[in-house]
Amino acid sequence: MKYCTQCGSPVEQMIPEGEDRLRHVCTQCGFIHYQNPKMVVGCIPVWKDKILLVKRSIEPRYGKWTLPAGYLENGESAADGASRETLEEANARVSDLKPFGMFNMPQINQIYFMFLSDLVDTDFGAGHESLEVRLYKEEEIPWDEIAFKVIKRTMELFFEDRSTGEFTFHMEDIYFDRSVKYRT
């Protein structure tokens, strides 16, 4: 950011008194602009032995497959946001949302929060950010064509849990070169 949201004057990066890290501070009015990680919320929509994936029609990763997910908006809960994204991207309705996993990605200031969900019916189709929507069995998943590492990891954990018959909550920190798993 270059200008103050409160007075329109230029901002500079400095460490405010009593703090320990760089912030964007207004050179005129002194307003401190805090910047914080954003939460991305999404679903694993389950239909019988299949899950619903969407093929992206936007960058980044145009043409790659992913689970319905997007930025949580002000005024909505994580579950409401995950349902909304599923409706927007796949024209699909989900029910019975259950927390499945949280994936911290500190290097890109994002937190993914994914839900298990039941697909209500098979009346779905491409939304405005999708080229195609379809149900995949585990053995049909295009693992080399998945848009994001965090989505691939979510699906791996889903199929692992499904094979044991017990779904648990997962948390991992995902860095470019390593991951940290938490006991849950």
Q: What is the DSSP string of the chain?
A: --B-TTT--BEEEE--TT--S-EEEETTT--EE----EEEEEEEEEETTEEEEEEE-SSSSTT-EE-SEEEPPTTS-HHHHHHHHHHHHH---EEEEEEEEEEEEGGGTEEEEEEEEEE--S-----TTEEEEEEEEGGG--GGGBS-HHHHHHHHHHHHHHHHT----EEEEE-SS-EEE---
> Least separation, in Å, of the C-beta of 3 and a copy of itself?
4
Question: Where does this chain bind a copy of itself (CB under 8 A)?
Answer: 1-10, 18, 21, 33-39, 71-80, 96-99, 102, 104, 106-107, 109, 111, 113, 128, 169, 171, 173, 180, 182-184
- Cβ nearer to a copy of itself, comparing 21 with 143: 21
Contact call for residues 130 and 148 (beta carbons, < 8 A): no
**Residue whose CB is less far from a copy of itself, 53 or 112:** 112
* Minimum distance from residue 64 beta carbon to a copy of itself (Å): 21
Which one, 141 or 174, has the nearer CB to a copy of itself?
A: 174
Question: C-beta of 141: minimal distance to a copy of itself in Å?
Answer: 26
- Expressed in angstroms, the distance from the first to the final Cα of the chain is 38
- The minimum distance between CB 125 and a copy of itself, in angstroms, equals 18
Q: Which is nearer to a copy of itself, 6 or 122 (CB)?
A: 6
Q: In angstroms, what is the minimal distance from the CB of 52 to a copy of itself?
A: 20
Q: Which is nearer to a copy of itself, 53 or 174 (CB)?
A: 174
Query: What whole-number distance in Å separates Cα of residue 4 and Cα of residue 14?
Result: 14
Determine the Cα–Cα distance for residues 68 and 79; give it in Å rounded to an integer.
13
CB of 43 to a copy of itself, least distance (A): 13
- Between 108 and 122, CB nearer to a copy of itself: 108
